[in-house]
Amino acid sequence: MILLLITLSLFPLIFRRRMAALYRLRQCHLTGRAASHLHTSSRVSAQQHYKMLVLGGGSGGIAMSARMKRLVGAENVAVVEPSEMHYYQPLWTLVGAGAKDLKSTGRSTASVMPSGVKWVKSKVQEINPNTNTVRTDDGTEISYEYLIVALGLQLHFEKIRGLPEGFEHPQIGSNYSVETVAKTWKALQNFQEGNAVFTFPNTPVKCAGAPQKIMYLSDAFLRKTGKRSKATIIYNTSLPVLFAIKKYADSLWDIVERRDLQVNLRRNLIEVRADKQEAVFENLDKPGETKVIEYGMLHVTPPMGPNSTVKGSPLSDEAGWLDVDKYNLQHRRYANVFGIGDCTNLPTSKTGAAVAAQSAILDRTIRKVLRNEKPDKKYDGYTSCPLITSYNTVILAEFDYNGQPLETFPINQAKERRLMYHMKADVMPHLYWYGLLRGLWGGPGPYRKLFHLGMK
């Protein structure tokens, strides 16, 4: 198993070298034009046109721009992204628990942008698929032949009364944003006694396991520091289940019972009175019934929703998500528009692991569309959630559109394992920076098939 892990983690590094060599060859070949191939970060000032325009430079946007560079050449690809920094969000769970440094989760957007690809450092304000144009916040119009939408989802702390201003108080944190994740670690360290409360909102979220991972880590931290006996740990979730996939939920229920963690289903956080250290929850099964809980520490998972630019465009479905075909990721009404990741209405759990699998499918779909052929490869909904259950164990949940476990390794992944913790904390970041973002990691599908050969 350790050999397998080493192979997995070396894979992107090996390919990085190969791709770098290929890139150098290409640069020599294009000597005369090489200078214009270095990507630039500039505000756009005139009308621009690109064959392949990518909206959003997060996980899906950078992965697709690397893949599209290989397909159509860097000079034909542009990415619209306003942020100077790119973050590997999955590590924020460990930052909130003091096991990783926030700095180690971020790199400059310039450093992750594939070289030669144009970085338009602006915010997309409007998408007009009927004229094949987008407008940025400085009023510039960019036209495109093909559009890839990777705008992520939006956090809505403001939908909880008392937030975001409540974060000024030291007992509250949230692993979900770069501004609030360090506050989780502060609140955990400062906790003395009383209720430690963790929430899950009444909306779709990204990485649906993250709201409870921080509870398990907090429990472990309080045990380590001798404060656990003075704490009541409460997980108030809007969902009717602890986790959507029964195989993993069964293991998690075992853990919460063993570690004396209180789980209350169908409880939704509606207000934080930070000055009084009170959190107000509504009972979703009994409209009008609310309960006030005093806390010594509060971890908030905010309500989330579609990206507002997608929602305000003809590309959205009724709920505001990007309306794409669930198998080939092509827009359902505009054939030259495609989507990936958290901004889409793909009926699977929104994760970076899902983005990885989607990037390989979308690459294939676009190759086919460019050749006027029918997309053939189908996305099975693969998604994964490494459920961190302590400072050295993980349950590696992996499943598909049907909620069926789709496990990579030929072992029972519903068991807490140290090995999977190392995968999560040490291997995955490399897979992300050198594999996914360089368009070289399309999810573990091929490895799963290899590891299960002969097992059928």
Q: Nearer to ligand UQ1 by C-beta: 163 or 428?
A: 428
Burial 81-105 (b: 16+ CB within 10 A, else e): beeeebbbbbbbbbbbbbbbeeeeb
Residue 195 binds which of ligand UQ1, ligand FAD, none (CB < 5-8 A, kind-dependent) = none
Which residues, numbered 272-331, are part of the site for ligand FAD (CB under 6 A)? 307, 309
> Which amino acid, 44?
V
> Which amino acid, 219?
D
53 touching ligand FAD, by CB under 6 A: no
Which residues, numbered 174-213, are part of the site for ligand FAD (CB under 6 A)? 175-176, 206-207, 210
Q: Kindly name the residue from 127, 148, 207, 324 that is annotated as catalytic.
A: 207
* Number of neighbours of residue 47 by Cβ within 10 angstroms: 10
90 touching ligand UQ1, by CB under 6 A: yes
Residue 82 binds which of ligand FAD, ligand UQ1, none (CB < 5-8 A, kind-dependent) = ligand FAD
Q: Nearer to ligand UQ1 by C-beta: 64 or 356?
A: 356
Q: Kindly name the residue from 385, 387, 420, 431 that is annotated as catalytic.
A: 385
8 touching ligand UQ1, by CB under 6 A: yes
Q: Is 343 a residue of the active site? A: no
Among 76, 105, 132, 351, binds ligand FAD (CB under 6 A): 351
406 touching ligand UQ1, by CB under 6 A: no
**Choices 133-141, 232-240, 244-252, 424-432 (CB under 6 A): range interacting with ligand UQ1:** 424-432
31 CB-contact burial (10 Å; exposed 0-12 / middle 13-18 / buried 19+): exposed
Interaction pattern, residues 332-371, with ligand UQ1; x per rule: CB under 6 A: --------------------xx--x---------------
**Choices 112-120, 182-190, 321-329, 425-433 (CB under 6 A): range interacting with ligand UQ1:** 425-433
- Least distance (Å) from ligand UQ1 to the CB of residue 417? 12
386 touching ligand UQ1, by CB under 6 A: yes
Q: Is 28 a residue of the active site? A: no
- Least distance (Å) from ligand FAD to the CB of residue 257? 24
342 touching ligand FAD, by CB under 6 A: yes
Residues that bind ligand FAD (CB under 6 A): 55-61, 80-83, 89-90, 92-93, 123-124, 150-152, 175-176, 206-207, 210, 307, 309, 341-343, 350-353, 355, 384, 386
Residues that bind ligand UQ1 (CB under 6 A): 8, 90, 352-353, 356, 384, 386, 408, 428, 431-432, 436, 441, 443-444
